[in-house]
Structure 1
Amino acid sequence: MSIFKKITLLFLSSLFLMIFIAFWVEKSNLKKNEVIQINNYITDAKVILSIFAKGENIKLQKKLSELGLQKVDKSSFLHKSSTVFRKSLTYGEIKVIKTNSKYYLYIKYLDNELIVYDKSQEDYINDLKITYLLLILDISLLIIIYLLVLKMIMPLKNISQTMKLFSSGDLSVRTDVKTGDEIGEVAESFNKMAEKLQKTIQSKEELLRDVGHELKTPIAKGKFAIEKLENSKNKEVLKKVLEELDSLTSDILQIKLLDEENLNRTKFKASTLIAEALSKLFINEDDLEIVIDDFEIDADLHYLSVALKNLVENGLKYSVKTPIVIEAKPEQITVISFGEKLDKDLEYYIQPFTRDSNNKHGYGLGLNIVKKIVDKHNFFLNYNHLNGYNFFTINLSQTYDNQNN
């Protein structure tokens, strides 16, 4: 989960909790206020009923003023009110009526009928309005803080996107974040690091390219000169050395091209891929067996055929006996050869210039090139050893679980 989603989740949780607590407190206070108001009205009702019973109605208005009560016209609210308390008397009844958050006392005694309102409620209602206002201000402040925090960390998203572009191979990309705080320092440090890495990588790439091209000419001249020599043991040794140097140079240039070029994806059959790979090799038909359940592949034919060619070449080079087998079935192509299990994990051999102790040929770039091609396609390379056979499999599914094989 991204930091933006986490902050949004925290904000929504805080907002929900604040509203829930405010609602719960308000409901609790309203209930308490209702109980208090009912008890006060019951006390007031006893005083008013005493006046009615004595027939001292002339003193009623003065007593209402002393109690802080105000007469109310019945017709103004009873149609939209609710009764929260009711008590029947011998000669009448008393009720506490609620309407629009206000409480009224209704008294009926014989022919006397009275509705009064406790003016002290106004203080509570005003306090309630202030509470609502403070709640709105709190929520507004929380939203403002949330937006400010998002604005403060928004540059992190820019830096993250820039880093992803850089890691995907765009070495020229830089972040333009300049905030003057710790995030700005991170952005500046990244730009400096990216600049140094770009120069280092470019210098290495230029060196590889120059060395590769420069070696091609003397190697070609050496091969031509060797052909002029008389047949001898030394001639064969020199020829083999130059062939290995030529292979090494080609591998170096191939790695360089892999880093620079984009894939040219097309759709083709597995049989086409195998034919293309074998066309790059000089191989005796008796040394190879092909088992194919043809299917369609979406990939770069040139590069994927190079990867398969390297696996077949390794199989022929290190197999104890022939034939080696190319097995193609939907979503995977496997090269099977008879021989000892690799001394180390596959990860060791896909590093450049790494070989087994018994490897007397090549410079350890073949599997490295295979892995680069497979990774560039988002495919998978897997290795198993079973019953004396080595299985190198290119799995062509981009959702392949490598741990299951």
Structure 2
Amino acid sequence: MIKKNAVLITVLFALSVALVSISAIFWEFYKLNKQQYIDHIFTKYSVIAQIYREHMQRSSSEIMLEANLAVYDLFIIKDKQETKSLLEKAKVLKKEGFKSYDTSLMINKQGLFTKNTVTNLEATMLEYQKRIYFHIASPDSEVFIKDEVLKPYSYINMLYSYSMIFLIIAFSFVLVLQKLRPLIRLRKKIALYGNGDMDISFKTRNIDEIGAVANELENTKEKINTILESRTLFLRNLMHELKTPIAKGTIATQMLQEQKQRDRFTSIFTRLETLVEEFAMIEEVTSLGDATEFKEYRLVDVIDGAIDMAMVERERVGVMIQADVKEKVNYRLYTTAIKNMIDNGIKYSDDGYIKILINDRGELCFESKGECLKHPLQYYIEPFTKENPSKNSFGLGLYLVDSILKVHGKVLAHEYENGINRFIFA
């Protein structure tokens, strides 16, 4: 599934990475921007501290302190309940300690002198109910001041920018998917063509890269169809032209006077006819792509048909298969494959007997006594390969069996154990 949708998964992965990266960048930028905003507005505490320090040094009235603060849109909080709420519920944005220096001119017996007084102060910026407050505290007193101008940091602009970029990336992803849709349809059409639908059309009006590939596939399909039609016509004519002289030769053979010559020519023409039939079968197998001809049959019925086709005595074939075992196959081809295995097993066995059974893995097996194969199985399933030239073989039997099994999604395997050759439809 992953391999079939590799491009889509890659695009989705790229989108995810982009969105995660953008989100991380915006989050860091949001924190930095917010901190810079807080640092910027916190500088106002220096004005408040200076006004409050002068108030303490001159011991001015409360009214004068309020008037000086009002110039900067700052107001003292006098309500004790409100100050309590600020202490308990307000969010601390920033806190900083500093020293207040007071220089006074004093006089004593020695004369005039300067007295420096250092007072430790602490400034805290608070946020409560979407308002900014300043808390100035000294060892002897404290004051809560409300700022009527400053507003807490707002993330609306940041959220708007992030949303716009998010939508742009998402829209780009939708556009990519829209461009990939013709590629998905093209893949399905190619699969249909591979399954035997020779009339499928790849032609498209799109002028992009995928459209160019589709139109090129259409041209290639037409060339392939032309080649296949020519091949089919050639093979049919060839089979017809070969069968005609074989039939005439068979009839002419019966007119020979000598029995030895008649038998020899009859054997030759019979072998030629068998070869033509095997060629026709191989051509059908290699071009078969329609699985609709596959139906479910009882395996014993298929084997029974193969024994009849092989024209051997039933005593020479032992069938050890339950009657309820079924296979979904092309009956004619599968029967031919089993018939070839029966011929092969009887022909090369020591006792002229073959046994057909189902092994523990549920696979169809053909067992016969004899010597082990001298070469690997792959050697024998090549066309025109035969172990013993004296045998009546053209070397197409196992090649045809292997080709038929591939059509059925199986392979031909071989085992040798205790003097038994075991061929398996695995």
Which residue is 1:148 aligned to?
175
Counterpart residue identity of residue 189, structure 1: E
Which residue is 2:336 aligned to?
306
**Separation in 1 of the partners of 2:76 and 2:349?**
108
Inter-CA distance 344–189: structure 2 relative to 1 (3 Å threshold): farther
Deviations 1:126-163 (A, max 9, x none): xx543332222211221122222222333322222222
Give yes or no for contact 1:175–1:191 (8 Å, CA) kept in 2.
yes
**Other structure's SS at 1:383 match:** strand
Inter-CA distance 46–70: structure 2 relative to 1 (3 Å threshold): closer
Counterpart residue identity of residue 103, structure 1: I
**Equivalent of 2:302 in 255, 258, 273:** 273
Counterpart residue identity of residue 241, structure 1: I
- CA apart distance, 1:182: 2.9
**Equivalent of 2:52 in 35, 49, 54:** 49
**Equivalent of 2:145 in 112, 115, 121:** 115
Which residue is 1:403 aligned to?
none
**Separation in 2 of the partners of 1:243 and 1:100?**
105
Which residue is 1:324 aligned to?
354
- CA apart distance, 1:80: 7.2
TM-score, normalised to structure 1, is 0.79
**Separation in 1 of the partners of 2:328 and 2:315?**
29
**Other structure's SS at 2:394 match:** coil
Which residue is 1:11 aligned to?
15
Deviations 1:176-232 (A, max 9, x none): 344323333322222222211111122112222333344444434433443344452
Does structure 1 residue 134 correspond to structure 2 residue 157?
A: no
- Higher fraction of helix: 1
The correspondence of residues 196-211 of structure 1 with structure 2, limited to 5 A, is 196-211=223-238
Give yes or no for contact 1:264–1:299 (8 Å, CA) kept in 2.
yes
**Separation in 1 of the partners of 2:42 and 2:168?**
39
Counterpart residue identity of residue 46, structure 1: A
**Separation in 2 of the partners of 1:219 and 1:102?**
108
User: What are structure 2's unaligned runs of at least 5 residues?
Assistant: 98-118
**Equivalent of 1:235 in 262, 284, 287:** 262
- CA apart distance, 1:374: 2.0
Counterpart residue identity of residue 13, structure 2: L
Moved more, 150-159 or 192-201: 150-159
Inter-CA distance 339–169: structure 2 relative to 1 (3 Å threshold): farther
**Separation in 2 of the partners of 1:98 and 1:184?**
60
Give yes or no for contact 2:73–2:149 (8 Å, CA) kept in 1.
yes
Does structure 1 residue 179 correspond to structure 2 residue 206?
A: yes
Give yes or no for contact 1:51–1:59 (8 Å, CA) kept in 2.
no
Does structure 1 residue 372 correspond to structure 2 residue 377?
A: no
**Equivalent of 2:34 in 7, 11, 30:** 30
Inter-CA distance 182–94: structure 2 relative to 1 (3 Å threshold): closer
Counterpart residue identity of residue 339, structure 2: K
**Separation in 1 of the partners of 2:61 and 2:76?**
20
Inter-CA distance 302–99: structure 2 relative to 1 (3 Å threshold): farther
**Other structure's SS at 2:254 match:** helix
**Other structure's SS at 1:55 match:** coil
Counterpart residue identity of residue 40, structure 1: T
Identity of aligned residues (%): 21
**Other structure's SS at 1:170 match:** coil
Counterpart residue identity of residue 169, structure 2: L
**Other structure's SS at 1:280 match:** helix
Counterpart residue identity of residue 309, structure 2: K
The CA RMSD measured in Å over matched residues stands at 3.9
Which residue is 1:248 aligned to?
275
Which residue is 1:20 aligned to?
24
**Separation in 1 of the partners of 2:18 and 2:223?**
44
- CA apart distance, 1:349: 4.4
Inter-CA distance 304–57: structure 2 relative to 1 (3 Å threshold): same
Q: Which has the larger radius of gyration?
A: 2
**Equivalent of 1:157 in 184, 192, 203:** 184
Inter-CA distance 388–83: structure 2 relative to 1 (3 Å threshold): same
Deviations 1:274-305 (A, max 9, x none): 22221211224564444446651231344322
Counterpart residue identity of residue 408, structure 2: H
**Separation in 2 of the partners of 1:308 and 1:100?**
88
**Separation in 2 of the partners of 1:121 and 1:163?**
64
Deviations 1:325-377 (A, max 9, x none): 3233462111234234253552x5445x3314644544333333323332232
Give yes or no for contact 1:95–1:107 (8 Å, CA) kept in 2.
yes
Inter-CA distance 37–148: structure 2 relative to 1 (3 Å threshold): same
Counterpart residue identity of residue 22, structure 2: M
**Separation in 1 of the partners of 2:76 and 2:247?**
115
Which residue is 2:345 aligned to?
315
Does structure 1 residue 339 correspond to structure 2 residue 343?
A: no
Inter-CA distance 120–39: structure 2 relative to 1 (3 Å threshold): closer
Counterpart residue identity of residue 182, structure 1: E
Q: Report how many residues are paired.
A: 387
Which residue is 2:326 aligned to?
297
Which residue is 2:384 aligned to?
354
User: What are structure 1's unaligned runs of at least 5 residues?
Assistant: 396-405
Which residue is 1:393 aligned to?
424
Which residue is 2:107 aligned to?
none
- CA apart distance, 1:69: 4.6
**Separation in 2 of the partners of 1:237 and 1:384?**
37
Moved more, 135-144 or 154-163: 154-163
- CA apart distance, 1:94: 6.5
Give yes or no for contact 1:155–1:177 (8 Å, CA) kept in 2.
no
Moved more, 303-312 or 332-341: 332-341
Counterpart residue identity of residue 134, structure 1: S
